[in-house]
Amino acid sequence: MIFKRDEEADDAAEAPTAPAPERREGTKMTDSEVTIVGAAAKLEGTVVSAGSLRIDGQVKGQIQADGDVELSPQSQVEADIRAQNVSVAGRFKGNVVVKGKAHLARGGRIEGNITSKTLVVEEGGVFHGQSLMDGGTAQPAAQSGQPAAQQQGAAGQGDKAAQVKVP
């Protein structure tokens, strides 16, 4: 480590406590920023994240994220979520609106409605509510004037991704 002032030469042994890792983490954070709500945290109100959000604690209110939202197994959330994608491994009560995929992991529980392009429910996940899926394949087929049999085939492709096994 190089110092410009001579009086700091004695402090050289103490200086290496926070050198370069700042730059590495700073670069990492700009690629994909993740906000974490810790396991001991209890939040009420509106949570807004410019990036992705991971919740390990308790949240009640509204959640809005420009990125993805992940609810860990110990999380307890009662809110409405708007995000790119969502993954639920804990307990969730409310409505989910995502632009991409909604994922319910093993041991996760959702009580509410889900609006997404894709819904994945793992074995052992519990979902009570309604799902509205818009895969983007059925509407263009109907607008293009294709025969009804072809429209059903296009819609059937989206249904395969939505198959749910109930234990």
Average pLDDT over the chain, rounded to an integer: 75
Kindly indicate the confidence band of residue 74, based on its pLDDT and cuts at 50, 70 and 90.
Answer: very high
Mean pLDDT on 37-49: 94
State yes or no: pLDDT of 78 exceeds 60. Answer: yes
Reading the block at residue 35, the tokens are 């906000």
Going by C-alpha positions, the residue among 65, 46, 49, 60 that lies closest to residue 92 is 60
The dihedrals phi and psi of 164, each to the nearest 5 degrees, come to -125, 130
What is the per-residue pLDDT for 31? 44
Provide the pLDDT confidence category of residue 135 given band limits of 50, 70 and 90.
Answer: low
The more confident residue out of 60 and 21 is 60
For residue 36, pLDDT over 50 is answered with: yes
Query: Hey, what amino acid is at 77?
Result: V
> Is residue 163 pLDDT above 60, yes or no?
no
Residues 6+ apart with CB under 8 A from 137: 154, 155, 157, 158
Tell me which residue has tokens 């050198």: 19
Please state the rounded mean pLDDT for residues 36-56: 95
The pLDDT score that the predictor gives to residue 162 is 45
pTM: 0.63
Structure tokens at 52: 């992705």
Tell me what the mean pLDDT of segment 51-66 comes to. Answer: 96
Range 146-150 average pLDDT: 37
The pLDDT value recorded for residue 2 is: 53
pLDDT above 70 as % of the chain: 61
pLDDT of residue 165 exceeding 50: no
Ordered DSSP codes for 24-52: HHHHHHHHS-EEEE-TT-EEEEEEEESSE
Write the pLDDT tens digit of every residue in 90-118. Answer: 999 999 999 999 999 999 999 999 999 99
How far apart, in whole angstroms, are the C-alpha atoms of residue 96 and residue 73?
17
